[in-house]
Each structure stands twice: as structure tokens, then as C-alpha cells.
């Protein structure tokens, strides 16, 4: 069956990813609306520039920023991981 330690590590990493994607989504909307105050934290130089990526034509799919898609994906991923964690601890989400 599943091991508990790798699952807990995945949950922690997923929360970190949620925070990063939330930041990038907020930065995307700030840049699109002209409300950005200063540079992104992840602007390192000309080769590594999150603001340039957020304002490019490739920054969105179906009108939504990629970071928002990733945020939604990690929410679903966390729900699945917590379901596995509850199952490992013997709890059930519903009775059969």
C-alpha cells in the first residue's frame, strides 16, 4: 500500500506550489490591469523574467492565466492526497 512519509512530503510541496501559483496569478492580473507595483520576486535578469512571461501571448489558455490553471490543478491534487491520507489512517469519507 502507500507509505505515509512520501504522502506527507507531497502534501507539503503541494501547499508550497499553491502559494507560488496564487502569487503568479495575482501578479498576472496586476500586470494585465496595470496595477503592478514594482517587479516580480522571480525577476532575476533578462533571461529569467516572470513579468515578461506574464505579459506574453502564451501566458493564458482559453482566456485564463496558466498559473490559475495550475492553482486549480493543485487544489484537486491536494483533495486526492488528503483522501489518501484519511484512507491510510483508517478513516472513511463515506460508509458503504
From CA 49, how far away is CA 70, in angstroms rounded? 19
Where does the pLDDT of residue 96 fall: very low under 50, low under 70, confident under 90, or very high at 90 and above? low
- What are phi and psi for residue 24, nearest 5 degrees? -65, -35
Give residue-wise pLDDT tens across range 41-78: 777 777 777 777 788 888 889 989 999 999 999 999 99
Quick check: pTM over 0.95? no
Amino acid at each position: 500500500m502507500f507509505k505515509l512519509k512520501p504522502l506527507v512530503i507531497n502534501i507539503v510541496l503541494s501547499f508550497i506550489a499553491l502559494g507560488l501559483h496564487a502569487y503568479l496569478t495575482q501578479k498576472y492580473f496586476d500586470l494585465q490591469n496595470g496595477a503592478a507595483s514594482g517587479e516580480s520576486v522571480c525577476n532575476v535578469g533578462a533571461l529569467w523574467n516572470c513579468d515578461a512571461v506574464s505579459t506574453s501571448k502564451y501566458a493564458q489558455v482559453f482566456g485564463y492565466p496558466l498559473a490559475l490553471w495550475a492553482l486549480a490543478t493543485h487544489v484537486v491534487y491536494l483533495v486526492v492526497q488528503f483522501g489518501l491520507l484519511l484512507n491510510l489512517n483508517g478513516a472513511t469519507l463515506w460508509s458503504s
